[in-house]
Amino acid sequence: MDLNDTPEQAAYRAEVRAWLEQNAVHAPATRGRGDEQEAVAAHRAWQRRLAEAGYVGVTWPAEHGGQGKGPLHQVVVNQEIARAGVPGILDAIGVGMLGPTLIAHGSDEQKQRYLAPMLHGDEVWCQLFSEPAAGSDLAGIQTRARQEPDGSWRLSGQKVWTTNAQFAAYGLLLARTDPDAHKHKGLTMFVVPMDAEGVTIRPLRQISGEPEFNEVFFDDVKLAPDAAVGPVNGGWGVALTTLMFERLTIGAGSEGMGYRADRFAAAIASDPVAAKDPEVRARFGALATELLALRFTGYRLLTAISRGQIPGPEAGMGKITAVNGAIAAGDLIADVLGPEALDPDSEWSYLISFLPGLKSAGGTEEILRNTVGERVLGLPPEPRLDKGVPFSELRAKERQEVAS
Amino acid sequence: MNFDLSDEQVLLREAARDAFSRVRTVEAAREALEGAALPDLWATAQQAGWTGLLLDEQHGGAALGAIDAMLVAAEAGRVLASVPLLGHLPATAIANAGAGGLDEGTLGKLASGELRAAYVPARPGDDVDPAWTTEPRSGRRRAPAPAVVRGDEGLATVSGSVAWVPDAVGADVLVAVGMEAGGPVAVALGASAEGVTVEPAGGVYDATRPLGHVTFDDACGRVLAAGEVELRRAWFLAHALIAAESLGAVEECLERSVAYAKERYTFGRAIGSYQAIKHALTEVLRRQENTRSLLYYAGWAYDSKPDEFAAAASAARAAGGAALDFAARELISVHGGIGATWEHDAPLFFRRAQVSRRLLGGTGDAVDRLAGELLTGAAAAA
C-alpha cells in the first residue's frame, strides 16, 4: 500500500505545482460577494490560462484539445489546485461531464464546433436534465421536443437545479421526443443555445440566500435539425454516459469533497474548553471516523480508477457519508461556537445552509440506497408500475389517480 | 498511488479463509456455550506461520506488517474462530522491538508458536489524562498500570492487576506493560512464575473470546527493550486487530442477511425488495466498506505514517465496533423472531459484537482517542 506518486506522476505534480506557483497571482478569489459578471469574467480568464497550460481536459483525447492522460493525472491537477488555494475551472460540469458525453456520442461536426471553446471557457455549458417533477426518476421528464417537417425541432418545458445557466452559452438537454413509447425509449439529447428565443432563466435562491441554481423555461424554442446528440429516441443511453462521467468526476475529486476531519478539528481545537469536553469529543470522534473513512475510501476508488475501472454505484455511498458527516460537523461547530457560527460572514454559516440541499443533489440518499441495494447487493427491485407502459398512458393514469 | 492489497496479501487472506473453512468454527462457538471444548486452532496458526507474522526473520518470523495481521484476524472473525492471536500478535510486536530482552531461543519459540504469548495491555495516556492505565473489573475508574521495579541482570518485579485480558488464560508468556519511574516499560513473565495469577473471566457470554484477570504480586520477569513508542503502538495494534475481526464478522452477517432477504417472502414479494430492509442492508455495507478503508489506513500508517497510527487504528476500531453491532442487529431483525433464538447463528455474532465492543477501553474510548489525536494535532498546527 502506497499513497506516493510514481516517478512519472511526481514529475507531473512538480510541473503543475511550479506552474501554479508562477500563475496563482492571476487566479480569482475562491469565494466572493462582489459583482457576479466581473467574477465570472475573471474565472473564465483563469480557465483559459489553465487550458493553455494543458491543465483542463487532462483526460480528453489530444485530437479534441485534451492531454490524453489518465484520470490520476486529473487527480494530481485537482490536488495541486486545492493545495495552491486557488479555484478550479469555471466550467467543471462541461469539461468533466458534458464534453466527454459529446466526445462519446456527438457527431464530428458537434465535436469540431463545441469542444475547443468549452475547454477554454469561452463557452460555458450547463446540464439540463432534472425537472420539477423528475429528479430521482429522471426518465420521467416531460420537456417535449417535436420535430417539424423541415427536420428542425420545437422545444417546450421546464428544467431546474441548473448550475451556471445564467452565463452558459449552451446546455445539454434531455427531452421527450416520443411520448407513446415506454418512458426510457422516447427520449433524445439536444444541444440548446441558451440565448435562443424562448429560453428564460430565473435564479433559484437557496437557504444560504445565494442563487446557485436556476430554473430554465423553454417556450417553443426552435432547434436546428442537427441539434440532437446521439440517436433520436436514444437519449437515455446518452444520459447514462453523462451520469457515468459524473461518478468519475466525483470519484476523482473524492478525497472528502473538501469535508476533511482536520478542517473541522481546527475550528473546535481553537476553543480549549470544547476540546476537552466529553460530549464534544464523542460527537467529533464519531463524525471524524466517518470523514476519515470517506478520505481513505476515496484512495481505494482512485486506485480502481487508475486501473481503468469505472466507479460503480457503490461510489454513491461516499456521497451519503460525506453529506451526513459534514452535516454532523456543521451542527457540532455551531453548538461549540454558538450563534456566531451562523453569521452570514462565517464559513460555517454557508456550510450549514448548503448541506440540506446537497442531500438531494446527484441522487437522494434514498435513491442511492435503492441503487446500491439492487446493483451491488443484488436485492430484488421494488415492484414498478411504469414498466412496459407508454409514457403518455402513464401520465394520464397519474393525473387520474391524483384527481380521485 | 496504490491503496489496495498486494497479490501476496490477497493470497494470505485466501489461505486464512481456506484454513478456517476446514473447521466447523461457528458450530463450535455454539457448542462451547453449552460446555463443549473449543477446537484448538493454535496448530493451524503455527502451520500457517501466523504466530511469527510480526517477528523479524532473524528471530524466525515472517516480518510481515500490521495489515497482514489484520487480514488473518478478519478471516478469524468471519467464522468466529477462537485463535488466540489478539493476545499473541501485539505481545510479539513488543518482543520484536529493540535489541536485548528475550533470548533468541525464546523469540524463536514465540515465532514458531511453541510458546504462546499474551499481551497484558496498558492504555497510553492522552491529552486529557497523561497517565498509563489498565482496565478495571467494573466501572469507568481506570486502574494505574502495574508498577515495575528494575532489579539486576535485566530482571524486574511487577505488581498490579489488569482485568479482561484477551487470551491470557493458557498463555505461556505474559508481556505486561507497566510503569517505572522513567515511564512505561514492558516485562515478559512466565505465566506460571511466582506471583502471577491468571483468573479466567468471561468466555461465558462469548465462548470464543476467552478473557482473564491478571494479577502480578511482586512477580519477576525480564525487561524488554521496547520503548514508549512501541508500547503505544501495541495498544493501537490490538485495537486494529479487534476492528479487523469485526470486519470479517460484518461481512458474514451481511452475506447471510442478503441471502435471506432474497428468499423470504411477505405480501407476495421478497423482503429484500422493501426499502426498509434494503436501506438497512446498504447501511451495513456502507459501514463495512468504511471499516475496510480505515483498516487499510491503519495498516498503511503502521509502516509509513507512524504518527497517524493511533488515530487510524482508533477510527478503525470505532467504525468496526459500531458496524458489527449494527450488522448483528440487522441479521437478527431481517430474520424476524427466529434470528433472536438458538435455532439461528445470529445470537453468536451478536454476542461477539457485545463483548468485542467493550474490550481494551471499549469503542467509546477509541472514539475519544481519535478526537483527542485530531484536536491536539489541529491545536499544534494552529
ipTM of the complex model: 0.97
Both A229 and A296 in one domain: the answer is: no
Looking at residue B101, its pLDDT comes to 85
Looking at residue A254, its pLDDT comes to 54
Both A204 and A298 in one domain: the answer is: no
Say which residue, A2 or B189, is predicted with more confidence.
Answer: B189
For chain B, percent of residues with pLDDT exceeding 70:
99
Question: What residue numbers bound the domain in which B312 lies?
Answer: 231-381
- Is A10 part of the contact surface with chain B (CB cutoff 8 Å)? no
Distances (CA, A) of A184 to A159, A218, A232, B314: 18, 22, 12, 47
CB contact under 8 Å between B274 and A382, yes or no, is yes
In a domain? residue B253: yes
Closest CB to A288: pick one of B275, B315, B364.
B315
Both A23 and A59 in one domain: the answer is: yes
Say which residue, B257 or B98, is predicted with more confidence.
Answer: B257
Q: Which residues of A touch B299 (CB under 8 A)?
A: 1
Identify the closest residue of chain A to B272 by CA–CA distance. A379
Give the span between the Cα atoms of B209 and A69, in whole angstroms: 51
- Is B285 part of the contact surface with chain A (CB cutoff 8 Å)? yes
Question: What residue numbers bound the domain in which A313 lies?
Answer: 254-375
Both A229 and A272 in one domain: the answer is: no
In a domain? residue B51: no
In a domain? residue B249: yes
Looking at residue A220, its pLDDT comes to 98
In a domain? residue A34: yes
Q: What is the mean pLDDT of residues B294-300?
A: 98
In a domain? residue B302: yes
pTM: 0.95
B-proximal residues of A, 302-321, CB under 8 Å: 302-304, 306, 314, 317, 320-321
In a domain? residue A136: yes
Q: How far is B307 from chain A (nearest CA, A)?
A: 15
Residue where a domain terminates, one of A90, A107, A139: A90
Check which CATH number belongs to the domain holding A64 and give it: 1.10.540.10
Q: Does the pLDDT of residue B203 top 70, yes or no?
A: no
Closest by alpha carbon to B241, among B14, B68, B3, B365?
B68
Q: How far is A318 from chain B (nearest CA, A)?
A: 8
A-proximal residues of B, 302-321, CB under 8 Å: 304, 311-312, 314-315, 318-319
Residue-wise pLDDT for A149-208, tens only, equals 999 999 999 999 999 999 999 999 999 999 999 999 999 999 999 999 999 999 999 898
Check which CATH number belongs to the domain holding A286 and give it: 1.20.140.10
Q: What is the mean pLDDT of residues A78-105?
A: 94
Residue where a domain terminates, one of A39, A68, A90: A90
Residue-wise pLDDT for B212-254, tens only, equals 999 999 999 999 999 999 999 999 999 999 999 999 999 999 9
Both A311 and A368 in one domain: the answer is: yes
A-proximal residues of B, 263-282, CB under 8 Å: 269-270, 272-275, 277-279, 281-282
In a domain? residue A21: yes
Looking at residue B167, its pLDDT comes to 97
Both A299 and A192 in one domain: the answer is: no
Q: Does the pLDDT of residue A271 top 60, yes or no?
A: yes
CB contact under 8 Å between B272 and A286, yes or no, is no
Query: What is the residue-averaged pLDDT of chain A?
Result: 93
CB contact under 8 Å between A370 and B367, yes or no, is no
Q: What is the mean pLDDT of residues A107-124?
A: 98
Check which CATH number belongs to the domain holding B270 and give it: 1.20.140.10
Q: How confident is the model at residue B1 (pLDDT cuts 50, 70, 90)?
A: confident
In a domain? residue B5: no
Phi, psi of A264 (to 5 degrees): -75, -35
Q: Are A62 and A51 in contact (CB under 8 A)?
A: no
Both A227 and A277 in one domain: the answer is: no
Q: What is the mean pLDDT of residues A16-25?
A: 97
Both A233 and A139 in one domain: the answer is: yes
Question: Domain count of chain B?
Answer: 1
Catalytic (active-site) positions of A: 246
Amino acid identity of B230?
E
Looking at residue B165, its pLDDT comes to 97
Both A225 and A267 in one domain: the answer is: no
A-proximal residues of B, 346-365, CB under 8 Å: 364
Q: How confident is the model at residue A33 (pLDDT cuts 50, 70, 90)?
A: low
Both A215 and A288 in one domain: the answer is: no
In a domain? residue B267: yes
Closest CB to B258: pick one of A262, A272, A378.
A378
Give the span between the Cα atoms of A129 and A157, in whole angstroms: 11
In a domain? residue B363: yes
Both A231 and A260 in one domain: the answer is: no
Question: Domain count of chain A?
Answer: 3
Looking at residue A256, its pLDDT comes to 53
Residue where a domain terminates, one of A239, A262, A282: A239
Q: How confident is the model at residue B70 (pLDDT cuts 50, 70, 90)?
A: very high
Looking at residue A345, its pLDDT comes to 87
In a domain? residue A147: yes
Residue-wise pLDDT for A222-265, tens only, equals 999 999 999 999 999 999 999 888 877 776 665 656 788 999 99
Give the span between the Cα atoms of A142 and A177, in whole angstroms: 10
Check which CATH number belongs to the domain holding A191 and give it: 2.40.110.10
Both A230 and A258 in one domain: the answer is: no
Q: How confident is the model at residue A302 (pLDDT cuts 50, 70, 90)?
A: confident
In a domain? residue A384: no
In a domain? residue B360: yes
- Is B1 part of the contact surface with chain A (CB cutoff 8 Å)? yes
Cell 495481521 belongs to: B69
